[in-house]
A and B are shown apart, each in its own frame.
Chain A
Amino acid sequence: MINLLYPLLTKEIPTGLSDEDVVQEFVVSNNVAYFDILYKRYSGKVFGKCLSILKSESEAEDAMQEIFMKILLNLSKFSGRSKFSTWLYSITYNFCIDSIRRKKKDKSVLVEDMSSEHDTAEDDVEDRFIMETNVKRLKVILEELPVGDKAILLMKYQDDFSIREISGMLDKSESAVKMKIKRAKQKFKKLHSELYKNTL
């Protein structure tokens, strides 16, 4: 009997569905296999972001577990107004930044004063310079950068988020986000020249 029922119980999941379609199917069927598809697609990327921000593998594992449980329990609330990946990364960044805030009891992560001396002192750093920094150095520099700057550079260069998307995720104005990116790039360049001054 179970042999007859087995094909029905393990109904084949079509491959090649878009993320948004997978979410829809999950909401309709409540089949965890659809969640597994999303997990397979994004777990590596989410883990990388958690690790970059939290700097510890065990903390990144805990964070990722909580993030995906949150996603699983709230998939029905996903409205589809943004891409699924934008929604997922927004939860990831906010979760990691919040957990650092809780740890440091410091509310200034990403809420820094916008009128810094950097704003007018230096020219714009080219995107090319940031993106072409070799991977080894990139790792080291990201490790050294403050959390807020690191997160915003990852959003811009790794996830290709627009200024509008970042401003929505961080609940900040677009001009504040632009300023934040500019300052993060300046810090990146400064760190680069400090750490690798002989090889510039």
Chain B
Amino acid sequence: MRVNNFKELEREQIVQYEKNTEKVHKSISSNVGILSFIGDIFELYLSRIFGLFVSATGGSPKAPDNQKNDGRPKYPNTI
């Protein structure tokens, strides 16, 4: 088999710096936790924030009533 000490160097580094990679993993996990927490909050309150924004700009958060009864029956051909 062909000798390649670049690969050997890589193997040595993996063993030697295991603690560093674990430390970074913890840090990434906490970042992911914070991000998903922010995401959950945003998802939960997004509709309310949107409603608040509509109210603030003078609109009504309620959906427009398209079915106003102007005296006609709701469906044609009904008495």
Contact of B20 (CB < 8 Å), options: A45, A47, A142 = A47
Label chain B's interface by main secondary structure.
helix
Q: Which residue of B lies closest to A142 (CB)?
A: B9
Label chain A's interface by main secondary structure.
helix
> B18 at interface (Cβ–Cβ under 8 A)?
yes
Q: Is the CB of A132 within 8 A of B13?
A: no
Q: Is the CB of B25 within 8 A of A44?
A: no
The range of chain A's interface size is: 20 to 34
Set of chain B residues within 8 Å of A48, measured between Cβ atoms: 9-10, 13-14, 17
> A131 at interface (Cβ–Cβ under 8 A)?
yes
Known contacts A44-B17, A45-B14; decide if A158 and B28 are in contact (CB<8 Å): no
The range of chain B's interface size is: 20 to 34
Q: In whole Å, how far is A128's beta carbon from the nearest beta carbon of chain B?
A: 8
* Interface residues, chain A, with chain B CB atoms under 8 Å away: 32, 36, 39, 43-45, 47-48, 51-52, 57, 60-61, 64-65, 68-69, 72, 131-135, 138-139, 142, 153-154, 157-158
11 examples of A-B residue contacts, CB within 8 angstroms:
A45-B10, A47-B17, A48-B14, A51-B13, A52-B13, A61-B24, A65-B24, A65-B28, A131-B6, A135-B9, A158-B10
